[in-house]
Structure formats: structure tokens, C-alpha cells
Structure 1
Amino acid sequence: MPSQSDKDENGRLLDDPFDPRCTEWLVEIPVEVLWANLPGADEIDISKFSALAQTDFYMQVQKYYTAHNTSATIELRESEVEDLAKRIYDAIQTDEGYISAALLARFDDHQTFPRLPFEPISKAQYEQLHQEVLLRRRTDDFQQSLKRYDSGELFEAGPAGCDSDKCMLPEQK
């Protein structure tokens, strides 16, 4: 889908990634996690997890599973700010491996910012999004797809298309 910076003449986010005004893509990948299929997993409301619980989970992943910065967005309520600040401070002081995390205000009525880095969805939504991905797919060769947008310049700069949270498309002339 178009990036946060791709907007129409009225300032609204573009919805069509093939709109000629689109200059960057955010790549959304519906992902099924194994634990979601465990009996009773659908009865757990992850929106009830406190900011501290989310941070502790993130720190476990950071400490035991990755050697780089784990991407984490911690959703919090105003009443959790001080405790979370202390937890992050302590993680840094005791060298637990904390590098960084995005903090996002939690909306208890399930409003959301558009195009979050992670959004929990139902199994039905996952299946629908997965089918939409298959319908949009034009090739099964990812390398060939990237070559369409890589002019071969700046070889030393690394992957041309997608080396952050969005994919840069070549400028249209």
C-alpha cells in the first residue's frame, strides 16, 4: 500500500499502490503465528496486556532470539507511562540488551492510527488478506520483481527497493 507520505490533493492517504502519485510502498504481509491455532488462544484478548507485559515480552525476544534491534511497538495508556519509563531505564542500567522500542498511545475503543507496523487481526481477516495477496501477485519470483525497480546504480548502497519499513519506487520521469 502507499506510504504515509503519499497523499492526494486534499491530504488524504492514497489507497491504490499503483496510483501514479504513489512514490513509496509499505509492504503489508499477513502472517499466521503458530500459537494462534492453539486451543483457547482466540479467547485471550491481547489488548489487555499491559505496557510492562509487552515490554517484558519484547525484552525476552531481544535478549534470547535476536542479535540486532528487535522491532517492537509497545502500546500504552497514560497511567502506564511512569512504570514503563522506569522499566526501560532499569533495562538500560542493568544492560539487559534494550536498544529501542516504538511507543504508541493505546486507544481502548480500538481506534487506531492508519498503517501501524503491527495490527492483530482475526483468522477470517487473515484469510481474506491472504487471498487478496494471491490475487495481486504477478509473479512468484521475488528477485525478478525487485529487478524491475533496481536500475543497477548504487550497488554499494545495498538492496534498492526495500531496506526500511517502506519500499522506495524509482522516480517517474
Structure 2
Amino acid sequence: MTETRFKQAVALVGALSLAGALGLLGRVFVFAPDLRSPQPAPKAQAEAPAAPTPPQAAELSRAILNNDIFGLLPTAAESAKSADPPKPTEIDMDLAGTVVTADPAANVAFLRDRSAKTQKPYTVGASVKDATIKSIGKNFVIFSRQGREEILSMKP
């Protein structure tokens, strides 16, 4: 195929595409009266009761937040916690790292004992010296020690 024939073929395809698009637009907007913009209702229908208005965005947002479908409100256990943040722990250990999963009970903390110079993995509920691991998060471990919460953070 020569370059001239190729250009002619491209021009023909373009023209046919344009004609098809114009035909489709004409069919939708000119020949289809049910798709055109709505006409004002006759007076007999205007007296009919108006349809209820759909709820606005602010009303929908308020309903979503009030029903707490995303779990944003604190649970009873969270609201019972004290507002004071946990104090730094005095345990003779360093936090080497943590593995945090979707299941908080499966989280693992790697603690290094400074005196014995050993490192071991611990899970939630494990006893470490005179404390119990209450929760493990990214770069921190919260201990329950002598009835109060203490935190051990990873050092940079």
C-alpha cells in the first residue's frame, strides 16, 4: 500500500467515524423525545403532592457518624482506660523490633535483655521479668507492671 492510499484510507475511516458519531448524537438528542430535557408538567399534574426530597449530604454524613458504621467511636473498654499515657518502663531491656499483624494477639516483640545480653521473641500476655506484655504496636510495647501501664519504645 502506498503512502497516498494509506492517507486516503485514514481519511475515509475518520470521516465515517465522524458521520457515525453525528448520527448517534442526532438519534439521541433529536429523534428521542424521552431523552430530551423534561418539559414543564401540565397544571393537572402540578397539583399532585410533591415527591419527598432525597436526604442531603450533611444528613447522610450525620447518620453514618451517629451509627458508627466505621467503628470510630471508642468502645467501652477504650473509654474506661485512663487518659494518662503510660510512663516509660524501668525494665532492664531494649526493644529490638516488633512484628505487627492484623490480629493484635499475634503481634511479636523482640526484647534484648541488657544484663544477660540475649534477645528473645515475646507475644501478648507473656511475662517479662516482673511485668506482663499487655499490647505490642509498631515500635513500642506496653507492659502491665504492679497495676499500672508502662511503655517501652524502640530507640532510634
* Same fold flag (TM > 0.5): no
Higher percent of residues as strand: 2
The TM-score with structure 2 as length reference comes to 0.19
Higher Rg of the two aligned structures: 2
